[in-house]
Structure 1
Amino acid sequence: MSIEQRIVELGFVLPNASEPQGSYANCVRTGNLLYVSGKGPAAGFSEVPQGKLGREYDVEQGYAFARAAGLDILAAVKLAVGRLDRVSRVVKLQGFINATDTFEQHPKVLDGCSDLMVAVFGEKGLHARSVFGATSVRENLPIIIDSIFEIAD
């Protein structure tokens, strides 16, 4: 079963990859590593969510936002390399959580993207990661996730 088939089997739909909003690339490949620019939660929402975790949104909503950002990441990877079956490893996720200064559940929010990667890629989806609270992020999005993938030739 292909990775795209697995995504459908899991009940997800890949969105069209979001476009960069400045002078940068969606993805940059160097050697066998693909660096994906920060993605927010655009997939599956009638309006792009805006606001802070711990104020407008709770952990469960943040988890869903991280999963949506993960789907946008996968769409960008597919656009860059043609097929998601070329991913040999999810190397790293780095999350920036737009949160109040008292919000402390950043890892549980990023789990939305981490759990998606493991569900989609199995063991190849296990990755290193880091997560940070931020006082603000672009467009007041609740989460932004950068990622690195290893790509097979």
Structure 2
Amino acid sequence: MSESIEKRLLELGVELPPPAKALANYVPTMRAGQFIFTAGQLPFKDGKLMAMGVLGRELGTEAGKLAAKWCAVNVLAAIRNSLGGFDQLRRIVKITVFVASTQEYTEQHLVANGASDFLVAALGERGEHARSAVGVAVLPMNAPVEIEAVLEVE
């Protein structure tokens, strides 16, 4: 399975980066029994934030969707690092998508689709998940989106 996921990612034009380093006092992933919990992942691409700002002010929904996709890419990078590949991954159980947005902005759920669509495209049925999309005032480093995930593993 690991090779097929890596192949599918390449077909999607995505090469997983090295996992993001912790920016404070936490670990990138934590395993508890058959579950892995990821720390919040920001939209890093090529080692830097690929977007900054607040949805509804500096950024629109399409930019937010792209940022959410890159958060999901970084979720997969953290998982691959934690498991040494994807062979043990059963499924993504849930993601929580935090969207830095103005009070008037109401398309957090559409921003979250950037991550959900990517995870299903990359992982097939294993990528289907429950989800919450939450508007927040600000995120670390002025990132527009942050995603945490819960995964079931063997």
TM-score band (shorter)? Answer: over 0.9
Per-residue CA deviation, residues 2-47 of structure 1 (Å, 9 max, x unaligned), is 2111101121111111111111100000111000000011025865
Residue 99 of structure 1, CA deviation = 0.5
Equivalenced residue count is: 152
Deviates more, 1:128-137 or 1:40-49: 40-49
What is the aligned counterpart of 2:136 among 131, 134, 137?
134
Taking the aligned partners of 1:115 and 1:44, their CA distance within structure 2 comes to: 21
Q: Secondary structure at 2:44's aligned position in 1?
A: coil
Per-residue CA deviation, residues 97-143 of structure 1 (Å, 9 max, x unaligned), is 00011110000001111011101111111100101100111111101
Residue 148 of structure 1, CA deviation = 0.6
Give structure 2 stretches of 5+ with no counterpart. none
2:53 paired residue number? 51
1:28-107 map, 5 Å: 28-43=30-45, 47-107=49-109
Q: TM-score, normalised by structure 2?
A: 0.94
Taking the aligned partners of 1:144 and 1:8, their CA distance within structure 2 comes to: 23
Q: Secondary structure at 2:45's aligned position in 1?
A: coil
Identical counterparts, % of pairs? 33
RMSD value, Cα: 1.4
Q: Which amino acid aligns with 1:116?
A: F
Q: TM-score, normalised by structure 1?
A: 0.94
Q: Which amino acid aligns with 1:147?
A: A
Q: Secondary structure at 1:85's aligned position in 2?
A: coil
Going from structure 1 to structure 2, the CA distance change for 1:45 and 1:111 (only over 3 Å counts) comes to: farther
2:53·2:59 contact (CA, 8 Å) conserved in 1? yes
Going from structure 1 to structure 2, the CA distance change for 1:121 and 1:13 (only over 3 Å counts) comes to: same
Taking the aligned partners of 2:137 and 2:48, their CA distance within structure 1 comes to: 25
Going from structure 1 to structure 2, the CA distance change for 1:81 and 1:31 (only over 3 Å counts) comes to: same
Going from structure 1 to structure 2, the CA distance change for 1:78 and 1:45 (only over 3 Å counts) comes to: closer
